Structure 1
Amino acid sequence: MQRMGKMNLTDAERDKLLTATRSRTARVADVRRAKLILMLEEGQSRDTIMQRLECDSRFISRWSSRFLSERLAGMYARHPGRAPKQPPAKLEARVLNCTLRRKPSDGSTHWSSYKLSAELGDVSVSAVQRIWRKHNVRPQRLDRHMVSNDPDFETKAADVIGLYLNPPAHAVVFCVDEKTAIQALDRKDRMLPLSPGRAESHGFEYKRNGTLSLFAALNTATGQVLGKTAARHTSEQFVAFLTDIVASQCERQEIHVICDNVSSHKTQRVRDFLVQHGNVRMHFTPTYSSWLNQVENWFSRIERDVITRGVFTSVQDLGRKLMRYIREHNKNPKPIKWKYDDPSRRIRQVLIQ
């Protein structure tokens, strides 16, 4: 029975090796090497080590020598294997060039990792996925955008953003819009509730109980929302809602209203209202740029939280649930933190590309 020279360890090295042998998350290979060094320190024979670790003498010689020369760093270093067939930069360039500049030959609109691997022939699926992940390329994703054709886009956008970032002193800024034609849908089939291992389920069939429009005004400073439901969304209802906004503030309070370019916001009735209320000033977002209106962000929340999965037995039921959501929101409102301070920069980049 061949005995090996005893391995000398410092207390810190011994503690780290013991920790590795007890770890439930360490790599099996790392645990095996740690046990080897500890057994060598104990002076156990080569045959005993080979039997207990199920290894050969080359394993013992290799890792004992590496520990003596590199200590703990040598135990966990990831030593490279053979060199790749293609230089990494060249391989990445091939994958990205094909992904971004070519379409699949089968008529598909975009690449999958399997199709691109088959197209290139000598690149594995995992390599394609790794390169895409490194460069944040996601062919399966599709975003939609709308570029404004408003010739005064930058001027109007700067006006709106200026109200967010540097509002006038002693003035109130409201983002106003209406969410139209909200359907009061009632489900014909019984809803299956959420349970462990199963998502909430709604039947496909539904009953239409009419539609409702929701007018909302978001106070950009406080995050509070003024809301009102209406059966229609004409200029008459819009002016009535503006009147409610004015009534909610102190007399002669300077009010700035941000809204989009829908026709009901620019009628003679609205112009007459502005003449009668000199303390109210309207600011219009550029054409096709309602995303600049912060109330659209809040509309997406109420759509997600109440409307999409809601069950409404009537238009009145829909209205009650919308207004209840607004009341609960106003108990702990939070203003939106606007960060997109130069939209023209991104628009220019898109046009240049």
Structure 2
Amino acid sequence: MVARRGRPVAPLVLTDDESETLQRWIQRADSQALAQRCRIVLRCAAGNTNKQVAEELGVSPEMVCKWRQRFIDKRLDGLADKPRPGAPRTITDEAVENVIVATLERQPKDGTHWSRSTMAAETGLSQSAVGRIWKSLGINPHQDDTFTISTDPQFIAKVRDVVGFYLDPPEKALVLCVDEKAQIEAERNAAALPMTPGIPWRTHEYAHHGITTVFAALDLAMGELYGSIHRRHRAAEFKKFLATVDSTVPADLDVHVICDNYSTHKSPTITRWLAAHPRFHMHFTPTYSSWLNQVERWSGLLTDQKLRRSVHRSIQAFENDIRGWINTRNNNPRPFNWTKSADEILERLAPYLQRIPGAAH
């Protein structure tokens, strides 16, 4: 038997308090470097070798060895950076953590969210110190947003299906991301007042001239858009749009259509049309997951670059302007670059689902 070479690795055993602290630092660390050291220690404590930890975290074995030994020698204090030249810190790590915990887990007694002044009064720090801590972590208590968690029982399967087309599209097939931009309103009679230094673009007169709907199909590979405009938004109009796509796409290609769960896309009229056109295959995004459809990026560009500041005195002029914008973009089409795998998306969503009662089921 060949003797094992190399120095024996010192065992690393954590107390319950140390394990809890390391997990908390990973979630709230104001330094990614500290979070990485905590991950190294936790994996070492789980019985992994230095090489296994290095491969899993994408760091060098020497780094794993360094922080394993530093923790064994000095425990939690060993994970901090060594003092650097310059004036000593006046705000302790404990004070920083108190600000973070209070901001994320508690509300002030007289309000729904913290301000710099109320947090300063709570912690005894200056308002500027509170502001620096928040800024370093990207915390903005004055801002809010909304989101909706999908309740689709096939959420995971649909995410893998759609993302699979983005990352590995099939051969001899066309993948189209389809959606409707409905109820677009032609409005505004007169041109806006132009920007001047210190004064933004401004509008001063509105008149409603009617509404229209843009049916759009984004070619995943080429970035070209198939667009069709209709005054109504029904299964009949969607069927006409699919027929237009069918007549445009070469007959030897299968067509995979990625779209949402809107009732128009699943109506008996569309079901019968699809049965008569077997080269068309529908793939539905999960409910409340429009962000998964790449055509939403195009829809946002249409709003920002054309609709938000356009001036039209008739619905016909409005529709012609949209057609012109689509044609101009198709003269130099550019596909969007999707980079996230299904596993990465699901891993990113997991912490949010765990914080919401019933959302993970």
Equivalent AA in structure 1 for residue 266 of structure 2 = K
Alignment of structure 1 residues 1-353 onto 2, 5 Å: 79-80=86-87, 84=90, 87-107=91-111, 109-120=112-123, 122-187=124-189, 191-203=192-204, 205-342=205-342, 343-353=345-355
C-alpha displacement of 1:141: 2.2
Q: Deviations over 1:107-164 (max 9, x none)?
A: 2x211112211233x2101100111122221212223211110111111111111111
C-alpha displacement of 1:239: 0.7
C-alpha displacement of 1:105: 2.0
SS at match of 2:353: helix
Equivalent AA in structure 1 for residue 119 of structure 2 = L
- Within 2, Cα distance between the matches of 1:105 and 1:206? 44
Seq. identity, %: 37
SS at match of 1:327: helix
C-alpha displacement of 1:334: 0.9
Task: Give the gaps of 5 or more residues in structure 1.
Answer: 1-76
Compared CA separation, residues 281 and 79, structure 1 to 2 (3 A)? closer
C-alpha displacement of 1:199: 2.0
Q: TM-score if structure 2 supplies the norm length? A: 0.72
- Within 2, Cα distance between the matches of 1:94 and 1:251? 65
- Within 2, Cα distance between the matches of 1:196 and 1:80? 43
Equivalent AA in structure 1 for residue 167 of structure 2 = L
C-alpha displacement of 1:195: 2.9
Work out whether residues 187 and 202 of structure 1, in 8 Å CA contact, stay in contact via their aligned partners in 2. Answer: no
Q: Deviations over 1:45-94 (max 9, x none)?
A: xxxxxxxxxxxxxxxxxxxxxxxxxxxxxxxx97416x62xx52011012
SS at match of 1:256: strand
Equivalent AA in structure 1 for residue 134 of structure 2 = W
Equivalent AA in structure 1 for residue 125 of structure 2 = V
SS at match of 2:175: strand
Residue aligning to 1:70: none
SS at match of 2:188: strand
C-alpha displacement of 1:101: 1.6
SS at match of 2:275: helix
Q: TM-score if structure 1 supplies the norm length? A: 0.73
CA-based RMSD: 1.7
- Within 1, Cα distance between the matches of 2:151 and 2:337? 27
Residue aligning to 1:8: none
Equivalent AA in structure 2 for residue 95 of structure 1 = V
Equivalent AA in structure 1 for residue 97 of structure 2 = A
Work out whether residues 148 and 288 of structure 1, in 8 Å CA contact, stay in contact via their aligned partners in 2. Answer: yes
Q: How many residues align?
A: 270
- Within 2, Cα distance between the matches of 1:328 and 1:111? 48
Q: Deviations over 1:148-206 (max 9, x none)?
A: 10111111111111111111111000011100000101146x62112344322111x41
Larger Rg: 1
- Within 2, Cα distance between the matches of 1:290 and 1:168? 22
